[in-house]
Amino acid sequence: MSDGEEDSDHLIFGGVDVVDLGARYGTPLYVTDEDRIRENFRSYKNTFETVDTDFYFAVKANGNLAILRILAQEGAGADVFSGGELRLVKLAGIPMDKVLFNGNSKSEEELRAAVESQVKVSVDSREELRTLSAVAVEMGGEAEIAIRVNPDVSPKVNPKIATGLRTSKFGIPYDEILQTYEEAAKLPNIVIKGIHCHIGSQILDISVFREATEKMMQLVEDLYERGIELEFVDLGGGLGIAYNKEKEIAPTPEDLAEMILPTFEAKMQALGINLKLILEPGRSIVGSASILLSKVNTVKHAHKNFVAIDAGFNLFLRPVMYDAYHEVVVANKLNEEASVLSTVVGPVCESGDIIAKDRMLPEVKRGDFVAILDTGAYGFSMSSQYNGRPRCAEVLVRDGAVDLIRSKESVEDVIRNQVVPERLR
């Protein structure tokens, strides 16, 4: 246990000694710093103060209810991508008039849930538009929509998380947008409200946001000329964060505003209209706010010096899925010299289960704590029960205080919904 002194060798996160957390809650453990989330969100709010802007948190990045509650308190709306995420934001108290239901493959059930909850729908295909209209007619309701535009802009990121390329599965091709709106205007129970795009994620070269804004505002003008007036423009999320502090510099919401606002405001002025701006940040709100705390099960000096921890791609997929870099620290040896070239691996039965390759770390022993940093976005939300491992707990820290925000699963939870037919018993 730490003595809380300044020269402690222990990682302090949100005012809490994470080694104490590991001892109290066990590992693996997601630890989230509440103040960091509030600061990140406020930095968007303060920056875009001069324009009418709403921030729809991308729930896929982190769907923990307590975290959504914090964001609801801060005034966030939500980008939801499934009926499940819609349910989550309702439970968190995010107002339904600040929710956009996204998705390239929504089921009819999900379209019904959207109409029933009176949330806006981002329409991803012409067929979906017609289905939504039919669903709304049948339900005697209305569907407020935006059309998801494929703007054909390259965000210069890992192809797996580029979403606005011409070849991407998302959105309606740029040159079909006007005719899609014209069709929407004629369809019963469809109410046109806005226009939407999202070009990609973990964007560090943010000049692409200017290109996207220009293309989207051109569509706003073309629609206006055809008598179709909008209430909002949603430019999606995507602002990157610095995972590798030595190599990357995180663009800030101010940098983003500089890319978007001049074009956005100039076009509004030229047309004499007022539009709401919507942004859908996920990663830049929650990414830096969590660590994944793990314990070392074994150290093996083999072909490499393998440090095997109790968290792998079952709990944190990003390194494996995107070759993503995440800093790791030995949380109980912060001041020890990083003298050993180490490769941190998880417990999953796959050779690819590597969390951090060839890093200089202090000499590590069984029982030491390893913290993976910046795991708040697409961390727990992409976890699985692979290898029969229950998902871990999550705690929220603030100013030295700790709250459990998700209990760990048990093996029973892994088994719970499985059914062995009578004939096999």
Annotated catalytic, 197? no
Nearer to ligand LLP, 102 or 383 (CB): 102
Selecting among 349, 419, 420, 424, the annotated active-site residue is 349
Q: With contact defined as beta carbons under 8 Å apart, do 100 and 196 qualify?
A: yes
Q: What are phi and psi of 7, to 5 degrees?
A: -90, 15
Nearer to ligand LLP, 160 or 226 (CB): 160
Rounded CA-CA distance 225/147 in Å is 17
Please report which helix (H) or strand (E) contains residue 334, including its range: none
Q: Least distance from C-beta 106 to ligand LLP, angstroms?
A: 13
Regarding 61 and contact with ligand LLP (CB under 6 A), the answer is yes
Strand ranges (DSSP E) for 5-153? 12-13, 16-17, 29-33, 53-58, 77-80, 99-101, 120-123, 143-150
Which part of the chain contacts ligand LLP (CB under 6 A), choosing from 17-25, 181-189, 233-241, 303-311?
A: 233-241
Instruction: Tell me if the bond preceding 262 is cis, omega within 30° of 0.
Output: no
Question: x/- contact string, 162-201, with ligand LLP (CB under 6 A)?
Answer: -x----------------------------------x--x
Rounded CA-CA distance 86/113 in Å is 8
Rounded CA-CA distance 226/11 in Å is 59
Q: Which residues contact 246 (CB under 8 A, 6 or more apart)?
A: none
Question: Binding ligand LLP by CB under 6 A: which of 40, 47, 102, 294?
Answer: 102
Nearer to ligand LLP, 318 or 406 (CB): 318
Count of residues of this chain found to bind ligand LLP when the rule CB under 6 A is applied? 23
Question: Binding ligand LLP by CB under 6 A: which of 22, 237, 251, 312?
Answer: 237
Restricting to residues 257-286, name those near ligand LLP by CB under 6 A.
Answer: 280-284
Restricting to residues 363-422, name those near ligand LLP by CB under 6 A.
Answer: 377-378
Q: Which residues contact 302 (CB under 8 A, 6 or more apart)?
A: none
Closest CA to 123 of 104, 139, 151: 104
Q: Least distance from C-beta 157 to ligand LLP, angstroms?
A: 9
Nearer to ligand LLP, 194 or 237 (CB): 237
Restricting to residues 318-357, name those near ligand LLP by CB under 6 A.
Answer: 318, 322
Burial of 207 (0-12, 13-18, 19+ CB in 10 A): exposed
Nearer to ligand LLP, 161 or 250 (CB): 161
Say how many C-beta atoms besides its own lie within 10 A of residue 317's C-beta: 18
Nearer to ligand LLP, 238 or 362 (CB): 238
Regarding 90 and contact with ligand LLP (CB under 6 A), the answer is no
Closest CA to 196 of 121, 94, 253: 121
Q: Least distance from C-beta 377 to ligand LLP, angstroms?
A: 6
Q: Least distance from C-beta 17 to ligand LLP, angstroms?
A: 28
Q: Least distance from C-beta 363 to ligand LLP, angstroms?
A: 31
Q: With contact defined as beta carbons under 8 Å apart, do 245 and 264 qualify?
A: no
Regarding 79 and contact with ligand LLP (CB under 6 A), the answer is yes
Nearer to ligand LLP, 224 or 322 (CB): 322
Find where tokens 């070269």 sit: 205
Q: Which residues are catalytic?
A: 349
Q: Interface residues with ligand LLP (CB under 6 A)?
A: 58, 60-61, 79, 102, 161, 163, 198, 201-202, 236-239, 280-284, 318, 322, 377-378
